[in-house]
Amino acid sequence: MKKKTLIKKIKAVVAKDDSAANGTELAERIWAESWTYIKTIVDTVHEPFLILNKKLCVMAANESFYRTFQVEEKDTENKLVYKLGNGQWSIPSLKKLLEEILPKQTFFKGFEVDHKFPFIGRKIMILNARQIHFKENSPSSPPIILLAMEDVTEMMSVAKKLADHTNHFEDKFMMQTKQLHLNIKKMEKEINELKKSNS
């Protein structure tokens, strides 16, 4: 939700209260304090992070997001999340998850995105999202979605190498076991032949 829209809603609520002399100042102060608080928390997070409004447009992103995806604020803020980076986030299953968050007031954790991003190449990201709402239908605190991303590309690469190495070791072990079994059979045959010839 844009600041002007939020201020109008807050003014409408404040206008009902005759004791509130200056609704504009109050609305601006509430918005500024809330936004500063939320933005400060998001900026301290190490992982890439987006703040989305109820229409799934980016209200803000942290420095880690800009650095990880090599994008700029002007190409990110006020853009629909699905249109970021030439539509790289337009993933049907992600769309379904995000579009269910606000209506059902739910969250999701551990959604994996495996995608080739412009400039940075293939990345495997684990996404977590949650709606933040302070009071139901409160104009001073519009619903927002916090979308956190964890880059697990390197960890998945290491896991794949380890799995490949384990599979190779298991294959080699099976071949050696089979060969050993054949050698034992051959030795048993030779021992039996020796016993027969000595009898």
Cα 16 to Cα 60: distance, rounded to the nearest angstrom: 31
* Strand 121-132 versus strand 144-151 pairing type: antiparallel
Averages of pLDDT over runs of 10 residues in the chain (199 residues) are 57 52 63 69 83 91 90 91 86 85 78 84 90 63 84 77 74 82 84 80
Three-state SS for 125?
Answer: strand
49-52 β-sheet, strand order? 58-61, 49-52, 144-151, 121-132, 107-117
Element (H, E) at 173: helix 153-198
pLDDT value of residue 136: 56
What is the pTM (predicted TM-score) of this model? Answer: 0.64
pLDDT value of residue 22: 60
Size of the chain in residues: 199
Cα 148 to Cα 58: distance, rounded to the nearest angstrom: 13
Domain residues of the chain, as ranges? Answer: 3-151, 153-199
Which CATH number, 3.90.1150.10, 3.30.450.20, 3.40.640.10, 3.20.20.480, labels domain 3-151? 3.30.450.20
pLDDT value of residue 10: 54
Cα 149 to Cα 183: distance, rounded to the nearest angstrom: 54
Element (H, E) at 31: helix 23-44
pLDDT tens per residue across span 78-117: 999 999 877 888 888 888 888 887 677 678 889 988 888 8
